[in-house]
Amino acid sequence: MPSDQVSNALAPTATGASLAAWDPAASLTTPIAPPFASKIKIIEGIRIAGTTHVNNIEAIAAGLEPGTELRLVHDIDNQFDRWAVKVLTKSETRIGFLPADVNEIPARLLDGGKRVFAQVVAVEHKGSWCKIEIEVYLDD
């Protein structure tokens, strides 16, 4: 197959392929997006633990709506739980932790370099307690 046909075969399509063209002289370190990345729900309908220990949680929770993405970070220095996973807002404010009964798998995935994140499902205020329900996803 002539080289111009190879180049045309790998050109972007209307579906948004990330390869512009195949160039054998190009650097092999050029980043290429995974072709079939998908969002996989790994934990459904849990509440964030420890929100009562967060200063100004009411104001923080007021900015959370269903669908808001939250960052997850394995808290490897946590002295109480070796699998503790912090739940953070986009501005890096800690709003709590994943519950201890479901945190090991997300912690291991995070340790393995996987992108694991949470999305807000609902926010409910019960007196001074703020119940934030989330779902956890693996982007793979």
- Residue 17 token pair: 């392929």
Q: What is the mean pLDDT of the chain?
A: 84
pLDDT for residue 129: 84
Rounded-to-integer distance, Cα 86 and Cα 128, Å: 21
Q: Which residue has the higher pLDDT, 30 or 19?
A: 30
109-129 pLDDT tens trace: 999 999 999 999 999 988 778
- Specify the pTM: 0.73
Show the domains of the chain with their CATH numbers. Answer: 1-34 (no CATH), 39-139 (3.30.70.2330)
Query: Whose CA is closest to 129, among 102, 96, 98, 99?
Result: 96
25-61 pLDDT tens trace: 555 555 666 677 789 999 999 999 999 999 999 999 9
User: Average pLDDT for residues 80-104, to the nearest whole number?
Assistant: 97
Task: Compute φ and ψ for 109, nearest 5 degrees.
Answer: -65, -45
Residue linked to tokens 């808290």: 75
Rounded-to-integer distance, Cα 42 and Cα 21, Å: 35
* Per-residue DSSP letter, 49: B
Looking at the predicted structure, is the pLDDT value of residue 9 above 80?
Answer: no
pLDDT for residue 33: 64
User: Average pLDDT for residues 71-93, to the nearest whole number?
Assistant: 97
pLDDT for residue 10: 45
